[in-house]
Amino acid sequence: MEHQEKIDYERIAKAIRYMQTHFSAQPSLEEVAREVHLSPLHFQKVFSAWAGTSPKKFIQYLSLAHAKRLLKEQQRTLFDTSFHTGFSSSSRLHELFIRIEGMSPATYKNGGKELLISYSFRESLFGMVLIASTGVGICFLSFIADPEEGLKALKQEFPAASFEEKRDSLQDRAMAYLEGRNASLEEVKLHLKGTPFQLKVWQALLQVPVGSLTVYGKIAARIGSPGASRATGSAIGANPVAYLIPCHRVIRSSGHFGGYRWGLTRKAAMIARESVQTQEPPLTNSF
């Protein structure tokens, strides 16, 4: 992503924060554009290119009412049917092409001593990321504000590993999925350090389709631990690969989006953009 596109995302994120804060007042196109220091026409163009819909339509997907409606729909269908058949859109089929492989207990305990981890810094639809891979798959993907701090977090995760700044095909494939460019449905492999419980939770998250939402209790029930909502929430919060394991699709039972380790504005942007992808009719030019 070019420097201008990075600026555009920062403006979009600022616009989303403003629209959420002032939702009840139903801000006009001119008001939101003024907040991000763009002309209304240019803001409309930039926002629509990123979101796939107009700002006015997008704000509807940020609403509490929309989240509640999705939860009500998923109450009947999300974990009661198989996701391996009957997908209503090709985008949902992408979930079948992410595979998790847990690291060995020895690797988990010794801090990745035998691992050579390649990493690179990339720009994405949702801001800068640090993505890292072993020879097996992606082991880390984090949205970052500062490259040095991001690299420090990676090394803390694998204190005994060796590191090299290098792009590879595993990273490219994962980034294509994040950007929605994985049209050939190539398999994205993850190589994760986690406890057996965490791995079960992360695997369950992969079964939440694009454009859908669920709650912590539903994930806990899915893995056979209905009384472990708090532990499930901790495992979700410990997810080491942003977006690929869609912890952003888990919200509170009230319909409020709740927290997100990479920022609530980013979570809202992901939820709304995925709703646009799976539910939105062709783009119109109206605000």
Q: Which residues are CB-neighbours of 173 under 8 A, at least 6 positions away?
A: 182, 186, 187, 188
SS3 of 63, please?
A: coil
Structure tokens at 268: 């809202």
Q: What is the C-alpha separation between 141 and 65, in angstroms, rounded? A: 31
Amino acid occupying residue 29: L
Q: Is 247 a catalytic residue?
A: yes
**Four-residue CA torsion sign, 46, 49, 51, 53:** positive
Catalytic residue among 247, 269, 270, 276: 247
Q: What is the C-alpha separation between 71 and 159, in angstroms, rounded? A: 40
Count the Cβ atoms, other than its own, within 10 Å of residue 65: 9
CA-atom Rg of the chain in angstroms = 19
In this structure, are residues 123 and 5 in contact, taking their beta carbons and an 8 Å threshold? yes
In this structure, are residues 137 and 191 in contact, taking their beta carbons and an 8 Å threshold? yes
Q: Exposure pattern of 27-37 as b/e (b: 16+ CB <10 Å)?
A: bebeebbebbe
CA 251 to chain centre: 13
Query: Which residues are tagged catalytic?
Result: 247
